[in-house]
Structures are given as structure tokens and as C-alpha cells.
Structure 1
Amino acid sequence: MPLSSATGALLVPLALLPIGPPEIPAAAPDQVVDAPFDRADGIVPARAVTHAPDLVPYGAQARVTVHRAGGRTTVSVELTGAAASHEFPAHVHTGYCGTDPAASGPHYQQVAGSDAADNEVRMTLRTDPDGAGRASATVPWEFRADEAHSVVLHAGPGAGAHAAADRAACVDVDF
């Protein structure tokens, strides 16, 4: 019960005051792309296309989130409705998605030709038995303007008729 002083003001016992620093909410993402996967050759260009509907069916959903802070970038990918219990290597690519899987270009590299582990955005997205999964990667740099345009999910191991490096799906994201 609060105590009152001679002036009638309420005094709050110190035990009720919060201890430690205040909680800081997570920073809002710089960019979020939510898109269903569709045909690459549809009448209306799709933001997310699938080149392997057996692995990423039409209507499967992607969410790509990009956070930039302090010279670092985090790219996160969430996927629902994809092949169950599958492993998709994922990378940022230089081109946009297109009817030809190769349209997305090569992997974006911060330093061209370098094999350093942090020179590219590299993730492995593993889906659960319901076909949902997520992955993220943080790199110690920010993308150069107008040089990175998509996230590509590669077919990965055990992809049946597809080679592991085949581009299974692509999401346009202007980094």
C-alpha cells in the first residue's frame, strides 16, 4: 500500500520500480516481401516464381525480410507450402526472377571472386513435415545499390529429377 507524505502525495515503494534497463523492441525490418509462388510465364509478372512446382508448388508462400544496421545486413526467408522435410540452399542473386531460371544471375558477392565465407548471403532452409521452414544469414556489410535483386532457393540434395544446384524458386527483392 503506497504511503502518503504530509502534503498528501503518494510515495511508491522502491520495490515496485522496474529493475534494469528498459526493454528495447526489436527494430522494424527495412524491407519485407510477402509473395505467393506462381508461374514464371504468367500474364501478370509474379514477385515469386517457381521453376520446380514439385518442390515449391504454385501458391506456396514466401516472406523475405531484410534488416540493415551498423553496416551489417540480415536476410531472413520464411517458406510455407513447400515440399515436406526438404533442404533448400538459398542465396541472394544479382538478377531478377524470370521465365528462364538463369535470369536471376549469379550469386551476389560483396567482393567479386572472393571465396570468403562472409562474401555472400548463404542460408540453408529446411522445411518441416508440413513444408514450412525458415533460415537467416547476417553479413558484415550492406548491399551495393542496384546490384542485388532476388533470393533464389536451390533444389538441394534429394531433389529427385532436379540437380542440387538447380534453381527451384526465386523471389524478387530489391536490396
Structure 2
Amino acid sequence: MRTNRAVTALSLSALLLAGCGGAPTPMEEEQEESPEMQEDPFQQGDEPATADSPTASPEVSATFQPYEEGVTAVTYDEAVPEGAQVDVSVSNEGDDSTTFRLQVSGLEPDREYGAHVHTEPCGEQPDDSGPHYQDEVDPEQPSTNPEYANPDNEVWLDFTTDAEGNATSDATVNWEPRSDEANSVVIHTEHTMTEPGMAGQAGDRLACVNLPM
């Protein structure tokens, strides 16, 4: 009789031990079924932006028109005809350099033009766009000193149109424009001069494109 009771007790103990070590607990089941507890959190969405991430790039496409409030591209002279097209873009890939691109179509064929970034928005009068934007500002304005009026300190986008009146010009500088201080691209009558006393000059202002940077 005592033997049967001992066997029964041993059997119950074995069953209890098997129950404790066999089936997973609710907590263990939750841990096994929750992938977010095992995966890198950055795999759940986009990685955060860093200092090297590209920034937004100003860009405009417009048709030249006579001045009117709200017009993006203004023509002041028939050398840039009403209806001609212009595209301007500014790009920065996270370093200190900035690339400017100017594309035009429908201008006078086989002709030289000057072009620069200016400080003020386009206005009713050609001179309303202010002076050239300069990374290091010449204390004497208008600036004609080659130490300041040069393609490294300003943005020069001079171009020569082809037989159809089209052209593309690029300029890269080793700096970024200061916020709200560069607001337009102005097209001039001739390529930009470089000699002292005339540096940066390119004749009359024929047209202007608003492009806040």
C-alpha cells in the first residue's frame, strides 16, 4: 500500500515538473511574437536627417513678360523678347559649394549676354534688383574692384545663344548664399568685364528673374 502511494506521488511530481518547464508563459509568448523587440528601430521607418542630407533647392521655370506685380520673369528690352523662356536652379549637396544653372530659349540668336545673381527682387525698373550678390561684400558700391567683383565672390552666368536663341550656363562657387540676401538673376547686354574700374559690369539690364534663395 505504501509502495503504491509512493509511486503515485512520484508520478504527480513528474507531471508538475513537466508542466513548469514545457509550455511557454504568456510573457514568453509575447516576447517571441513581438518583432519590434528584436529589430533595429531604424528599420521601422526612415532614418533621421543628418547634416550631410541634401537641402531643398530653389528652382523656377517662367516666361518673360512685361513688369506686373507677381510676374516671375520680367523683360525690360526686346533683346529678351516677351514669351522667351527661362529656367533657373540652385543646388547644394550638403557641402559648402553651390551650383547655379541658367537655361534660356527664344532670345536673340548667336548673341552674347551677361548674367549675375542680384540682391533684390525684380521691380518695375531695371535697377530695382539692386547690386550683385557678393559672398564678401565690397564696402564701396557699386563694386568695380576685381578683388570683390569676380566669379569666385559673385555668381556670373554669362552665356552665348545658339542659332535658335537657346543657351545654358552653369556656375559653381565655394559658398552658400546668405538667407534672404540673394533674390534674383539679372540678364545684361554683354559678357561681364574684369578690368579694374569696370569689373563686374555687363551693360544694361535687359531682364530679371525672381528667385529667392
Residue matched to 1:96: 121
- Normalised to the residue count of structure 2, the TM-score between the two structures is 0.62
Residue matched to 1:131: 165
Structure 1 position 61 matched with structure 2 position 85? yes
Aligned-partner Cα distance in 1 for 2:177–2:56 = 15
Residue matched to 1:79: 104
* Alignment CA distance shift 1:65-1:117 (3 Å): closer
- Give 2:65's match in structure 1, choosing from 38, 41, 47: 38
- Normalised to the residue count of structure 1, the TM-score between the two structures is 0.75
Q: How many residues align?
A: 141
Deviations 1:100-155 (A, max 9, x none): 00000000000011525410001211100100001010000000011000000101
Structure 1 position 122 matched with structure 2 position 156? yes
Unmatched 5+ residue regions in structure 1? Answer: 1-26, 158-162
Secondary structure of the equivalent of 1:174?
coil
Bigger fraction of residues in strand: 1
Deviations 1:73-109 (A, max 9, x none): 1110000001111111110000111110000000000
Secondary structure of the equivalent of 1:102?
helix
Residue matched to 1:146: 180
Residue matched to 1:169: 207
Deviation at 1:31, TM superposition (A): 2.1
Q: CA-atom RMSD, angstroms?
A: 1.9
CA contact (8 A) 1:62 1:79 kept: yes
CA contact (8 A) 1:29 1:66 kept: no
* Alignment CA distance shift 1:29-1:65 (3 Å): farther
Aligned-partner Cα distance in 1 for 2:152–2:164 = 31
Identity %: 40
